[in-house]
């Protein structure tokens, strides 16, 4: 794609994958809303298109010894899930993972205490330190008096 570097508008890429049917990359670098096809792969006897079902999306601008500076501003991902009654479109997380989401897909909510409870524990710790110091001072004083 000539003119990809130094274009007058921000360069955008759109990767479209239809499960086991096609994989296509379109670029927008000439003008807004004008997508230029970069490549499209369709399955044949020699080439099969199978992407693992585990969701992982990574970005890298380094290809061997050559590298460019790229800013990834936004990532949008969408999926269409086939259900028994038909198809429905559900947008996935837009580049953001849900907080506290484990591998099972269920979110765990961690209970947090209030500042009042933290303050109470801090003052109890100070009272424990002060009581220890007072006890040590009383013990030291009683040992001085019993020496004679």
- Using CA atoms, how far apart are residues 110 and 145, in angstroms rounded to an integer? 55
Q: pLDDT tens digits, residue range 65-98?
A: 777 777 788 888 887 765 555 444 444 444 444 4
5 within domain boundaries = no
Here the tokens at position 98 are 């849900």
49 in Cβ contact with 21 (< 8 Å): yes
* Residue 37 pLDDT exceeds 60: yes
Q: pLDDT tens digits, residue range 117-148?
A: 889 999 999 999 999 999 999 998 888 766 55
Tokens 């591998």 -> residue: 103
Is 84 found in the same domain as 51?
Answer: yes
Number of H helices, E strands in the chain: 1, 7
100 within domain boundaries = no
Is 87 found in the same domain as 25?
Answer: yes
The H or E element spanning position 79 is strand 78-83
42 within domain boundaries = yes
Q: How many independent structural domains does the chain possess?
A: 2
Is 71 found in the same domain as 25?
Answer: yes
Domain of 133, in residue numbers: 112-148
pTM: 0.47
């Amino acid at each position: 794609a000539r003119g990809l570097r130094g274009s007058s508008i921000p360069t955008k890429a759109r990767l479209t994958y239809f499960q086991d049917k096609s994989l296509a990359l379109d670029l927008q670098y000439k003008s807004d809303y004008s997508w230029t096809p970069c490549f499209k792969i369709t399955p044949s006897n020699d080439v099969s298109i199978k992407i693992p079902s585990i969701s992982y999306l990574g970005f890298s601008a380094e290809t061997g010894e050559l590298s460019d500076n790229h800013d990834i501003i936004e990532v949008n991902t969408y999926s269409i899930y086939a259900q028994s009654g038909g198809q429905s479109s559900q947008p996935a997380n837009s580049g953001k993972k849900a907080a506290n989401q484990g591998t099972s897909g269920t979110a765990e909510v961690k209970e947090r205490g209030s500042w009042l409870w933290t303050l109470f524990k801090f003052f109890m710790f100070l009272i424990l330190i002060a009581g220890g110091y007072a006890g040590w001072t009383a013990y030291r004083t009683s040992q001085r008096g019993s020496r004679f």
